[in-house]
Structure 1
Amino acid sequence: MRTVGLFLVLLVVAGCSSPAIDPNAQVITAAPVASVQRLVPPGTRTINAVMSIGNAPLHYPAPDGSGDMLGVDPDLAKALGGVMGVGVNVVGVTFDQIIPGLQSGRYDLSVSQMGITDERLKVLDFVEYFNSGTGIGTRAGNPLHLTVNSLCGHQVAVSNGSIQQAKYLPLLSTQCVRAGRAPIAIRGFPDQQKGVLALVSGRIDAVMVDLPVLQYAVRNVPDIVVADTYDAGSPVGIGLDKGNKLAPAVQAALVELRRSGIYQKILAKWAVQGNALSTFAVRTGK
Structure 2
Amino acid sequence: MRKTICVLIVIGLCAVFSSVSAQDIVRIANETATPPFNFVDGNGKVQGFDVEIAAALCDVMGVKKVDVIQDWDGMIPGLIAKKFDAIISDMSITDKRLKVVNFSQSYYDEQGLFLARKGENIDFSVDGMKGKKVAVQRATTFANYIKGIYGSSVDIKYYETPASQILDLLSGRVDLILASDVFVHKTIKTKDGEKLAIVGSPVKDKKYIGDGVGIAVRKQDKELLENFNKALDTIKSNGTYDKIYNKWFM
TM-score of the two chains, using structure 2 as the length reference: 0.82
Unaligned runs of 5+ in 1: 1-40, 178-182, 273-286
Matched, 1:207 2:186: no
Query: CA, structure 1 residues 48+148, in 2 after alignment: closer, same or farther (shift >3 Å)?
Result: farther
Determine helix, strand or coil for the equivalent of 2:230: helix
Unaligned runs of 5+ in 2: 1-18
* Aligned equivalents of 2:115, 2:32: Cα separation in 1: 19
Matched, 1:240 2:217: yes
Matched, 1:162 2:140: yes
Give deviations 1:208-265, integer Å, cap 9, x for gaps.
1111111111122211122131117951111111131211111111110011111011
Query: CA, structure 1 residues 97+78, in 2 after alignment: closer, same or farther (shift >3 Å)?
Result: same
* Aligned equivalents of 2:147, 2:227: Cα separation in 1: 36
* Aligned equivalents of 1:58, 1:103: Cα separation in 2: 23
Moved over 6 A (4+): none
Tell whether the 8 Å contact from 1:54 to 1:194 is kept in structure 2 after alignment: no
For 2:36, the equivalent position in structure 1 comes to 57
Determine helix, strand or coil for the equivalent of 1:151: coil
Identity, % of aligned positions: 25
Give deviations 1:124-145, integer Å, cap 9, x for gaps.
111111011111111123x142
Query: CA, structure 1 residues 110+236, in 2 after alignment: closer, same or farther (shift >3 Å)?
Result: same
TM-score of the two chains, using structure 1 as the length reference: 0.72
* Aligned equivalents of 2:171, 2:212: Cα separation in 1: 31
Determine helix, strand or coil for the equivalent of 1:129: coil
Q: Which amino acid aligns with 1:269?
A: K
Question: 1:197 deviation in Å?
Answer: 2.8
Matched, 1:194 2:145: no
Determine helix, strand or coil for the equivalent of 1:264: helix
Tell whether the 8 Å contact from 2:122 to 2:129 is kept in structure 1 after alignment: no
Which structure is higher in helix share?
2
**Equivalent of 2:50 in 61, 73, 78:** 73
CA root-mean-square deviation: 1.9
Question: 1:146 deviation in Å?
Answer: 4.6
Q: Which amino acid aligns with 1:230?
A: V
Matched, 1:184 2:184: no
* Aligned equivalents of 2:182, 2:69: Cα separation in 1: 19
**Equivalent of 2:24 in 30, 39, 45:** 45
